[in-house]
Amino acid sequence: MSDAPHLLVDRQDGVLIATLNRPEKLNAITDPMMERFEQALLEFRDTPELKVMLIRATGRYFCAGADLKESAAKGEPFPTSGSGIREMHRLGIRGMHRIYDEMEHIEKPIVVAHHATCVGGGLEMSLSCDFRLAARSASYAFPEGLFGVLPASNGVSRLTRIVGPHWARLLVMANLPADAQEALTMGLVHKVYPDETFEDEVMAFCRHLTKQNGEQMGTAKLAIELTSEVGRDQGRHIERLANSALMLLPAYQKLSADHVAGIGGKKQD
């Protein structure tokens, strides 16, 4: 068994890069992986110099889901009631619910790059990212249906918000996989790139994000989530509230003043 860390962390040009690193186990998710991932996530949240977080992986899979052998080896008693199972999902399972909530709340962009097959828990983690990028050879599935259960840590709730009930039925109810192009069609991923240029394209995308206005992106992240929950009229209120805060910032005030001054100069000419 490899002694290498289950998660590698690097920093490049304002991008924190978290790399799943269990290629011999298809990057199946373990407790140490999630503990290190949460540490990296909080470092990203709390470090102003870090503008973007990128999640990627090594090996022939992006992620094969949770490591079921590790779970069995713990020897922990399985809940014997419905409420116990619900609490296990909410509070246990490697802290996934807590971590995914934090990913969605951080007012910075999180990007995930699928270079290959992404299933189960790996796909559920990806659903809490702001941007999902795929190589042409990537594919997606929820194997939980084979065991007669649901992917209950984002695999129904977040999936349905992103792709809608139409496609969620195909992935969860029919238990069918999707290739990268199908994932793009259903809105599961934002971009599909050639395998040969995938890594370069992903880093170019992340560097592009680092050059965007951080306040605007953070506010947009919150406003988009809020407006998806309410009706059109309330959504307009959210837009106005969010933009009123942005337009009072010194950067916008200066840009606006410079623009007006430029228009005045052109009129004088």
Q: What is the pLDDT of residues 71-88, one digit of tens each?
A: 555 666 776 787 776 776
Out of 143-152, 200-209, 252-261, least confident range: 252-261
> Is 102 assigned a catalytic role?
no
- Sequence-ordered strand ranges (E) for 142-268: 178-179, 191-193
**pLDDT value at residue 250:** 82
What is the average per-residue pLDDT within 143-162? 91
The answer to whether residue 180 scores a pLDDT higher than 70 is yes
Of these residues, 38, 87, 124, 182, which one is catalytic?
A: 124
3-state helix, strand, coil in the chain (%, to 5): 55, 15, 30
Q: Give the chain's length.
A: 269
Residue with tokens 């880093």: 203
Residue ranges of the domains in the chain? Answer: 7-210, 214-268
Q: What is the pLDDT of residues 86-95, one digit of tens each?
A: 776 666 556 7
Other beta carbons within 10 Å of 226: 16
Q: What is the pLDDT of residues 186-214, one digit of tens each?
A: 999 999 999 999 999 999 999 999 999 99
**In angstroms, rounded to a whole number, what is the distance separating the alpha carbons of residues 55 and 127?**
12
> Is 144 assigned a catalytic role?
yes
Of these residues, 87, 144, 196, 199, which one is catalytic?
A: 144
- What is 7-210's CATH topology? 2-enoyl-CoA Hydratase; Chain A, domain 1 (3.90.226)
Dihedral angle at the C-alpha atoms of 237, 163, 198, 5, nearest 10 degrees?
90
**pLDDT value at residue 91:** 63
Q: What is the pLDDT of residues 9-57, one digit of tens each?
A: 999 999 999 999 999 999 999 999 999 999 999 999 999 999 999 999 9
Pairing status of strand 117-119 against strand 15-20: unpaired
